[in-house]
């Protein structure tokens, strides 16, 4: 009666909530336990006292069911009982699990396909950020802060695109306006040509063209075509703006992105994975930087040659050659064809000179310039370069061709540092 925390015997709740279902005395069994009648004194020496962790005020274990059963020592953390055996051999559960796995995989593929364009923009932005990072680090080594270095590099990129637009848009506008103004003269020349006149007399082609032009179908199709072209231009501008913003973001937080990615690797392997990851990033950055240098050289040399021959729109053609030179395998050929075509429009001799120039320059670029630029950045065999560019172009087009070579370099590094040593130990 004198113990601290003792509840009077006339309290209907006893010593707590658990007293409604009184517990067994220590060492008692369900057969020998006797429940005192209501109102009888409780002679338990520890009634109402704290009997240690995991027990209630009435001495009942937290894991007990309250029906007079003594809980096993391992059941204290399982108040609702032990779980049953897993249904491993149940065919229904096996089929349901397999069906849910297939459904999840299908939904994941559909989600990736729906977000394919956004994923391409993200990958291209990350690729450009990794490629511009060496220039930023080079400026940082000259006692510049990273923000100032990023501002200088990113401003240079924006200035290049602005110069490209100023060099390309005016010639295209002038050529389009001149073609529309001289269109009646071109039609008159076609009518005066003997071959065209004989074909027109037999099939009335010019009359059909005139009827089609005077009808409303041409205006409808042209209006629809203009809307389609406007949609494509707006979409391209939006994609370019998105890439620029994402590139700036990735460039500013590239270090934190790498550190966060490395934290997903177990600690025992984190050092090796970080070293391999940094080397892959360096190779990708070296490839992008080297490719930009080669394209810049191609553009400058092309501009000097076309300006010397007085080819019209030499600056626009040089920038076009520099941009297409970034595309592996076919980019240099595409730029050479366009520039040589403009040269042939100037004169036959100028066109032949352009063809000879681009053939010679491509050999110099492939065997002299490119090996020296990529000597210290990307170590990829020629066959891996060709295969990577072809597979990347087949999967993702121009973007895949651009990403194919650095990804091939990354795979070659992983094979050389991880796969081959493991095979030698087996």
For residue 15, being part of any structural domain is answered with: yes
Chain-centre distance for alpha carbon 342 = 38
Q: Residue 16's domain spans which residues? A: 1-68
Exposed / middle / buried, residue 23 (Cβ in 10 Å: 0-12, 13-18, 19+) = buried
Pairwise CA distance, residues 421 & 416, whole Å: 7
Q: 3-state secondary structure string, 45-82?
A: CCCCCCCCCCECCCCCECCCCCCCCCCCHHHCCCCCCC
Q: How would residue 46 be classed by pLDDT, with cut points 50, 70 and 90? A: very low
Least trusted range by pLDDT, from 2-6, 350-354, 412-416: 2-6
pLDDT score of 186:
64
Would you place residue 63 in the very low, low, confident or very high pLDDT band (cuts 50, 70, 90)? Answer: very low
Domain membership of residue 373 (yes or no) is no
Tens digit of each residue's pLDDT (9 = 90 or more) over 331-358: 888 889 988 988 888 888 888 999 999 9
Q: Which residue reads 């590139």 in tokens? A: 247
Nearest Cα neighbor of 328 from 413, 390, 407 is 390
How many domains does the chain contain in total? 1
Residue 379 · residue 412 · CB < 8 Å = yes
Exposure string (b/e) for 359-387, b if CB count within 10 Å is 16 or more?
eebeeebeeebeeebbeebbebeeebbbe
Radius of gyration of the chain (CA): 39
**Could you tell me the pLDDT band of residue 34, with boundaries at 50, 70 and 90?**
very low
What does the pLDDT read at residue 60?
44
**What is the average pLDDT across 107-117?**
83
Comparing 36-40, 202-206, 242-246, 346-350, the range with the smallest average pLDDT is 36-40
DSSP letters, 232-283, are HHHHHHHHHHHHHHHHHHHHHTHHHHHHHHHTTS-HHHHHHHHHHHHHHHHH
φ and ψ at residue 55, rounded to 5 degrees: -125, 150
pLDDT higher at 229 or 316 = 316
Tokens describing residue 302: 């092309």
136 with 146: CB under 8 angstroms?
yes
* pLDDT: which is higher, 18 or 233: 233
Query: What is the spatial distance between Cα 48 and Cα 339, in angstroms, rounded to a whole number?
Result: 99
Cα–Cα dist 209/196, whole Å? 13
Residue 426 in 3-state DSSP? coil
Q: What is the percent of the chain where pLDDT is above 90?
A: 5
Cβ partners under 8 Å of residue 40, min gap 6: none
Residues 6+ apart with CB under 8 A from 19: 13, 57, 58
Q: Are 409 and 287 in contact (CB under 8 A)?
A: yes
Q: What are the tokens at 368?
A: 């002299």
What is the pLDDT averaged over residues 83-106?
79
User: 34 in a domain, yes or no?
Assistant: yes
Predicted local confidence at residue 20, as pLDDT: 46
Find the Cα–Cα–Cα–Cα dihedral 314, 317, 323, 324, rounded to 10°: -140
pLDDT band at residue 31 under the 50/70/90 scheme: very low
Q: CA-CA distance, 414 to 422, in Å (whole number)?
A: 11
Alpha-carbon span 155 to 262, nearest angstrom: 30
- DSSP code of 365? I
Average pLDDT of the chain, as a whole number: 74
Percent of the chain having pLDDT more than 70?
A: 68
Distance of CA 107 to the CA centre of its chain: 19
Is 338 inside a domain boundary?
Answer: no
* Res 24: pLDDT: 47
Q: Give residue 360's pLDDT.
A: 93
Band of the pLDDT at 238, cuts 50, 70, 90? confident
Half-sphere exposure of 293 (CA within 13 A, CB side): 17
Per the domain annotation, does 4 fall within a domain? yes
Is residue 421 within 8 A of residue 295, CB to CB? The reply is no
For residue 55, what are the β-bridge partners? 61
C-alpha separations of 171 from 343, 344, 347 in Å:
15, 17, 19
Structure tokens at 209: 């063209």
Token output for 210: 């005139």
Is position 375 within any domain?
no
In a domain, 330, yes or no: no
- Rounded Cα–Cα distance for residues 157 and 147 (Å): 15
Alpha-carbon torsion (409, 410, 414, 417), positive or negative: positive
- pLDDT bucket at 180, cuts 50 / 70 / 90: low
Does residue 293 lie in a domain region? no
* Mean pLDDT (whole number) for 284-297: 84
Lowest mean pLDDT among 135-149, 333-347, 368-382: 368-382
């Amino acid at each position: 009666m004198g113990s601290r925390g003792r509840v009077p015997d006339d309290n209907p709740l006893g010593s707590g909530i658990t007293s409604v279902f009184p517990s067994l005395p220590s060492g008692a069994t369900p057969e020998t336990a006797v429940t005192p009648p209501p109102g009888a004194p409780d002679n338990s020496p520890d009634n109402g006292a704290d009997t240690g962790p995991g027990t209630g005020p009435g001495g009942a274990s937290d894991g007990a069911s309250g029906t007079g059963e003594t809980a096993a020592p391992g059941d204290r953390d399982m108040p609702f009982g032990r779980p049953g055996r897993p249904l491993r051999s149940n065919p229904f559960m096996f089929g349901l699990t397999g069906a849910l796995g297939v459904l999840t995989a299908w939904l994941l593929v559909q989600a990736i396909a729906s977000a394919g364009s956004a994923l391409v923009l993200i990958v291209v932005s990350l690729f450009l950020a990794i490629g511009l990072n060496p220039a930023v680090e080079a400026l940082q080594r000259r006692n510049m802060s990273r923000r100032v270095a990023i501002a200088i590099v990113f401003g240079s990129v924006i200035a290049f695109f602005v110069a490209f637009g100023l060099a390309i848009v005016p010639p295209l506008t002038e050529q389009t306006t001149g073609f529309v103004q001289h269109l009646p003269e071109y039609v008159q020349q076609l009518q005066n040509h003997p071959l065209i006149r004989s074909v027109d007399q037999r099939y009335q082609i010019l009359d059909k063209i005139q009827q089609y032009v005077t009808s409303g179908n041409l205006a409808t199709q042209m209006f629809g075509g203009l809307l389609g072209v406007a949609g494509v231009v707006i979409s391209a501008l939006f994609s370019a703006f998105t890439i620029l913003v994402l590139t700036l973001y990735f460039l500013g937080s590239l270090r934190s992105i790498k550190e966060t990615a490395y934290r997903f690797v177990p600690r025992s392997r984190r050092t090796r994975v970080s070293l391999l990851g940094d080397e892959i990033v360096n190779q990708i950055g070296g490839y992008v930087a080297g490719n930009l240098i080669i394209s810049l050289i191609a553009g400058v040399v092309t501009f000097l040659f076309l300006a010397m021959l007085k080819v019209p729109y030499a600056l626009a053609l040089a920038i076009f050659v520099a941009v297409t030179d970034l595309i592996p395998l076919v980019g240099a050929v595409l730029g050479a064809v366009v520039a040589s075509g403009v040269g042939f429009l100037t004169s036959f001799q100028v066109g032949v000179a352009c063809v000879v120039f681009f053939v010679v320059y491509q050999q110099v670029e492939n065997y002299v310039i490119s090996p020296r630029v990529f000597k210290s950045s990307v170590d990829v065999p020629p066959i891996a370069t060709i295969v990577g560019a072809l597979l990347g172009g087949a999967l993702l087009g121009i973007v895949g061709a651009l990403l194919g070579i650095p990804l091939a370099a990354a795979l070659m590094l992983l094979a050389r540092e991880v796969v081959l040593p493991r095979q030698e130990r087996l």
